[in-house]
Copies of this chain bind each other. A is one copy, B any other.
Amino acid sequence: MAAEPIPVTTRIVTLASRPEGRPTTANFRLEEEPLAEPGPGQLLVRNAYMSVDPAMRGRMEPTEKHYTSNFSVGGPLDGSAIGRVIESRAAGFAAGDFVRHRLGWRDYAVVDAQAATIVDPVLAPLPTWLGVLGQTGFTAYVGLRRAGEMHDGDVVFVSAAAGAVGSAAGQFARLLGASRVIGSAGGADKARILVDELGFDEGIDYRAGLAEGLAAAAPDGIDLYFDNVGGDHLVAALYALKVRGRVALCGMISTMEDTSSAPGVHHLIQAVLKRLSIRGFIVRDHEDLRPEFEKQVANWLRTGELVSRQTVVDGLENAVDAFIGLLSGANVGKMLVRLSGDDAAAS
């Protein structure tokens, strides 16, 4: 492999202003910045793919949440990315390696090797390492296994099931022994994809009626609800859950931008009457499960039982649109931005 020229600048995306409600392009800025030389223990990485995910919206808020650091106005965004090492000043990493790290939203990054993990593009394609084999998939896996205490034979309902975490959660549920997997998505096309491409037993277009759809898809009720949405979806699920049912609270995209019109906590009386368990979780608390997860998912990919769907947008200049599109459900599966043609296939 020929040595390539070392770039001295990189494009980055910064937060120009804090969004109110749904973000717009005016909240972001594409800038050119000088690129430092990697110091000892650091890697210079050319990013191949970066992730956009709903949690980034929360990090744009002025007040800190409980497990992330918020973005500063004027400062760069960051997030999961995968890239090729161009120059390594850290033991165990060599030029040409692909690494997963936290400095997305830029073409090139100088990364602390401690915060980078080598990924194997032969074991699974690069985008997969940001999707079903990455935090996205791990979130789905932890939610089912830990917060949701999934049992063999469970009837499982997943909201935002065409999304990154949802499409993983629904498939994992099936592969982990669910007797029936139901997903909801916005629109008939997405609902059809759930069944035709992702192996769900039922796809509900929630715009056409969620409670009715759920009652028809699971007349005897559901055992486990994997909640990516909150709001109306959570309420519908509370009523559909069987006695001793469980809810894994993964995210509440419905409430991130709107805290005014959500329905009442009084629906939680269902949780008393039916002895439900409702649990929030974050993956960081469950790293012990990661080796099992990676082995399991790599195996499902190998056998073809698991479909890794992505929606890929090209170029950092389109990353903001990808992010905004994600928040309105423009994606099926993991939403990624391709930052270079530097796929494993090209190596």
Interface residues of A (CB under 8 A from B): 65-67, 230-231, 234-235, 243-244, 249-252, 254-256, 258-259, 261-282, 285
CB neighbours of A262 from chain B (8 A): 264-266
What are 29 inter-chain pairs, A to B, with CB distance below 8 A?
A65-B273, A66-B243, A67-B243, A230-B268, A231-B266, A249-B271, A249-B272, A251-B272, A252-B266, A252-B269, A255-B265, A256-B269, A259-B264, A259-B266, A262-B264, A262-B266, A264-B265, A268-B278, A271-B279, A272-B280, A273-B280, A274-B280, A275-B281, A275-B282, A275-B285, A277-B277, A277-B278, A277-B279, A278-B278
Other than the known A66-B243, A252-B268, A275-B281, what 20 A-B pairs have Cβ atoms closer than 8 Å?
A230-B265, A230-B266, A231-B265, A249-B271, A250-B272, A251-B272, A252-B266, A252-B269, A252-B272, A255-B265, A261-B264, A262-B265, A264-B264, A264-B265, A265-B268, A271-B278, A273-B280, A275-B280, A276-B280, A277-B278
CB neighbours of A271 from chain B (8 A): 249, 278-280
A331 to B316, CA, bound (A): 65
CB neighbours of A230 from chain B (8 A): 265-266, 268-269
CB neighbours of A266 from chain B (8 A): 230-231, 252, 254-255, 258-259, 262
Closest 4 CB pairs of A and B: A262-B266, A262-B264, A255-B266, A271-B280
A246 to chain B, nearest CB (A): 9
> Taking CB as reference atom, which chain B residue is nearest A247?
B278
A65 to B269, CA, bound (A): 11
Other-chain contact of A278, B244, B250, B261, B279 (Cβ < 8 Å): B279
A80 to chain B, nearest CB (A): 19
Main secondary structure on A side of the interface with B: mixed
CB neighbours of A252 from chain B (8 A): 266, 268-269, 272
Query: Are A66 and B273 also in contact (CB < 8 A) when A263-B264, A264-B259, A264-B263 are?
Result: yes
CB neighbours of A270 from chain B (8 A): 280
A256 to B279, CA, bound (A): 24
CB neighbours of A258 from chain B (8 A): 266
CB neighbours of A235 from chain B (8 A): 265
CB neighbours of A256 from chain B (8 A): 269
A232 to chain B, nearest CB (A): 9
Residue contact A265 to B65, C-beta cutoff 8 Å? no
CB neighbours of A263 from chain B (8 A): 264-265
A1 to chain B, nearest CB (A): 44
A67 to B272, CA, bound (A): 10
> Taking CB as reference atom, which chain B residue is nearest A67?
B273
CB neighbours of A273 from chain B (8 A): 65-67, 280
A66 to B269, CA, bound (A): 11
A261 to B264, CA, bound (A): 7
CB neighbours of A269 from chain B (8 A): 230, 252, 255-256
A248 to chain B, nearest CB (A): 10
> Taking CB as reference atom, which chain B residue is nearest A279?
B277
CB neighbours of A255 from chain B (8 A): 265-266, 268-269
Query: Are A267 and B265 also in contact (CB < 8 A) when A278-B279, A280-B273 are?
Result: yes
* Highest count of chain B CB atoms <10 Å: which of A65, A255, A280: A280
